[in-house]
Amino acid sequence: MKTIYLFAVALLIVVLQTTLLQLFRIGDVVPNLMLIWLIICAVICGRFISFKAALLAGLLTDILIGKGIAIHVAIYVPIVLVIASLEERIFKDNYITPPILIVMSTLYYHAFFLVVHYFSTGDFVLFTRLFSVILPELVYNLAIGVACYVLAFRIAAGYQMR
């Protein structure tokens, strides 16, 4: 894939997430479309393209809406590299695969932010954020992510999942 295409998709997702999806908040939580897109990219497109996508998406997210530089890069790149390294070991066309990848990625995403928050402020906010942000976003990501994964797999592979 061209780098321009990856940049355009990442920019579109950041714009959607910061504008249109704010109207569909459930309990002050918005789904993380960038994370869902990177999971799909890592499973379907392979290691090199997904690495470029994660790098571009992380930089773009940090520049446009982040509070620091390279924080989202440090989250997205390891997620994509781990999923892409499992490419030959996972069943891409199984309905169990997307929920497992989405749950693990969302938990890693928030764990990383909790660690950064703890070391920058000294405040440990796991229990307050667990029920107000992490679990609702996890459910929201699952609902949207599984549907997007099935659609993307059907388009990329040309057949339905098992």
Distance in angstroms (rounded) separating the CA atoms of residues 69 and 55? 12
Amino acid present at 156:
A
Tell if the pTM clears 0.85, that is, is over it. yes
Tell me the pLDDT tens digit for each residue of 113-155.
Answer: 888 888 888 787 778 888 888 999 999 999 999 999 989 888 8
Say if CB 29 and CB 21 are below 8 A apart: no
Name every residue whose Cβ is closer than 8 Å to that of residue 108 and which is 6 or more positions away in sequence.
Answer: 75, 78, 79
List of residues 6+ apart from 80 with CB closer than 8 A: 38, 41, 42, 50, 51, 53, 54
- Name the strand (E) or helix (H) holding 89: none
Residue 1 has pLDDT above 60, yes or no: no
pLDDT in tens, 58-115: 999 999 887 778 889 999 999 999 999 887 788 877 888 899 999 999 999 999 988 8
